[in-house]
Amino acid sequence: MASAEIGTPVVSPVLPRPDRKAWGVVILLFVFFTLNFADKAAVGLAAQQIRRDLGLSAGDFGLVGSAFFWLFAVGAVGLSAAMRWISAKWAAAILMFTWVASMLPLTVPTTFGVLLASRIVLGFFEGPAHALCQSVVADRFPKEKRAFAGSIVNAGSSVGPLISAPVLTWVIVSHSWHAAFLVLIAVGVVWLVVWLCYVERQPLRKRPAAGARAAAEADPNGHIDVPFLRLLRLPSFWGLSLLSFAGYLITSLKVSWLPAFLGEGLGYAPTTVGWLVTAPYATAVVVLVASGYLSGRLLSRGWSSRAARGHLSGALIVFAGLSMIAFALVGPGTLQLVLVICTFSINSVAFSVAFAGASDFLPQRQRAAFFGCVIGFYSIAGIVAPYALGLIVQAGPTPSEGYSNGFLVVGIAICVFAVIGARLLDPEAARRTLEAETAMGRVS
């Protein structure tokens, strides 16, 4: 292995300017993420029909929301690691195929056990989706454009429910909740065909790089060479994980309980709920794209990545947590709805801006597995939050009071995790540490 002197600056290669093909891939990944969150939202939108048809209590339905995340972490870590050896084209295609297959049993009358099993399997195969998308974006864009491109992809997490809420609600009310899953399957098959036709030809298995120089030319952080487990001991790993955990507390409740809260807790009719649910998702698209653009602008103006990635994400998520605490305490009305929109429109910032910060110091070959570990950690929020909220609602004197108590507890937790996470995430410090350890390893 070539030697390097400690302290010798390493000149990182610069990625080429993204071309039209790269932006086309971003749009397809945006649709990919749109479907990813549309199928998450489908069960929440059909909450009343599902509970009536299957005779489920609030606790039982909370278990359904939680079940999606039981193997989410296993899929995020295990499949992300396995996909290091599979090209991005085929990895995304395999995931979409498994999503479609896992939803098929829900297109016909079924049982609580089948519903539970379907959500568990779907969660397992959706686990690596975010890691894959962020890795593909990082491969195709320089760091000052990563947050913006990643934000466009992650906007699918809001556009999915934004589009699906009124459409799937109409399908559910006019036909049945089974028909909603049939619609999702049809759209998934169309996406799969377009993806395979559009993305450049790639073999199923990744081809090894021609050598260290070729790898470095393709990867700005290709010169960093440390054991993977070392990455998991970085403060920035835990900062990113805690920021994402705070954001996912909101995400998991948004997709599983927000429609039920608006209907059962606030008393809105199902068709009204279908439209009200779109407000946080529509706002989230603006917040995501604006925060990604702002992060890139801050970097280009000389701000540190700690401020542009960690502090920006942390401040926005703390604001969301405070809004949740506030809407749990105020009475029904316009102010409460505004606070609900503020809370549930900021949750995805950590998954674009903060994740872009991690790409600033990670070698390409270790990104997907690193992101998979982060996703595995924050998916614990998806396991705990929906079920815990269901139990609190069930224990409350009234559904309205139960929702208030549950959201108050979660809002406080969001603020605590976001503050600690923002403090720990420092991409520049992480990169300096990894470069120093790489140089030490080469000398020894």
Asked if 342 contacts 319 with a C-beta cutoff of 8 angstroms, the reply is: yes
Q: Does the structure show a pLDDT above 80 at 157?
A: no
Considering only CA atoms, which of 116, 117, 105, 92 is closest in space to residue 188? 92
Q: Give the integer Cα–Cα distance in Å for 313 and 8.
A: 33
Q: What is the mean pLDDT of residues 413-418?
A: 96
Q: In this predicted model, what pLDDT tens digit does every residue of 354-371 receive, in sequence order?
A: 777 787 888 877 887 788
Instruction: Pick 207 or 83 by higher pLDDT.
Output: 83
pLDDT score for 210: 41
pLDDT score for 442: 63
Share of the chain above pLDDT 70, in %: 89
Q: Is the pTM of this model over 0.85?
A: no
Considering only CA atoms, which of 211, 228, 223, 173 is closest in space to residue 371? 228
Q: What is the mean pLDDT of residues 38-56?
A: 84
Asked if 411 contacts 170 with a C-beta cutoff of 8 angstroms, the reply is: no
Asked if 135 contacts 98 with a C-beta cutoff of 8 angstroms, the reply is: no
Asked if 311 contacts 422 with a C-beta cutoff of 8 angstroms, the reply is: yes
pLDDT confidence bin for 8, thresholds 50/70/90: very low
| Helix/strand/coil for 2 | coil
Q: Which residue has the tokens 């870590």?
A: 77
Considering only CA atoms, which of 178, 191, 144, 162 is closest in space to residue 31? 191
Q: Give the integer Cα–Cα distance in Å for 39 and 21.
A: 27
Asked if 380 contacts 417 with a C-beta cutoff of 8 angstroms, the reply is: no
Cβ-Cβ contacts under 8 Å for 415 (sequence gap 6 or more): 246, 318, 321, 322, 325
Q: Give the integer Cα–Cα distance in Å for 424 and 313.
A: 12
Q: What is the mean pLDDT of the chain?
A: 83
- DSSP output for 265-328: IT---HHHHHHHTHHHHHHHHHHHHHHHHHHHHHHHTT--HIIIIIIHHHHHHHHHHHHHHHHH
Quote the Cα angle for 71-31-181, to 5°: 60
Considering only CA atoms, which of 31, 47, 32, 400 is closest in space to residue 254? 47
Lowest mean pLDDT among 9-13, 202-206, 227-231, 399-403: 9-13
pLDDT score for 204: 66
The residues that bridge with 86 in the sheet, in sequence order, are 205
Considering only CA atoms, which of 261, 34, 27 is closest in space to residue 161? 34
Q: In this predicted model, what pLDDT tens digit does every residue of 49-81 receive, in sequence order?
A: 898 889 888 778 888 878 888 888 888 778 877
Asked if 399 contacts 265 with a C-beta cutoff of 8 angstroms, the reply is: yes
Torsion, CA 142, CA 143, CA 144, CA 149, rounded to 10: 80
pLDDT score for 203: 63
Q: Does the structure show a pLDDT above 60 at 17?
A: no
Query: How far is CA 156 from each of CA 27, 145, 294, rounded to the nearest angstrom?
Result: 9, 18, 19
User: What is the CB neighbour count within 10 angstroms for residue 120?
Assistant: 17
Q: Give the integer Cα–Cα distance in Å for 310 and 240.
A: 8
Q: Does the structure show a pLDDT above 90 at 93?
A: yes
Q: CB-hemisphere CA count at 13 Å for 30? A: 18
Q: In this predicted model, what pLDDT tens digit does every residue of 187-237 receive, in sequence order?
A: 999 999 999 998 877 766 665 444 344 444 467 788 888 998 899 999 999
- In eight-state DSSP terms, residue 200 is P
- DSSP output for 397-422: SSHHHHHHHHHHHHHHHHHHHHHHHH
The burial class, CB within 10 Å (0-12 / 13-18 / 19+), for 314 is buried
Asked if 203 contacts 68 with a C-beta cutoff of 8 angstroms, the reply is: no
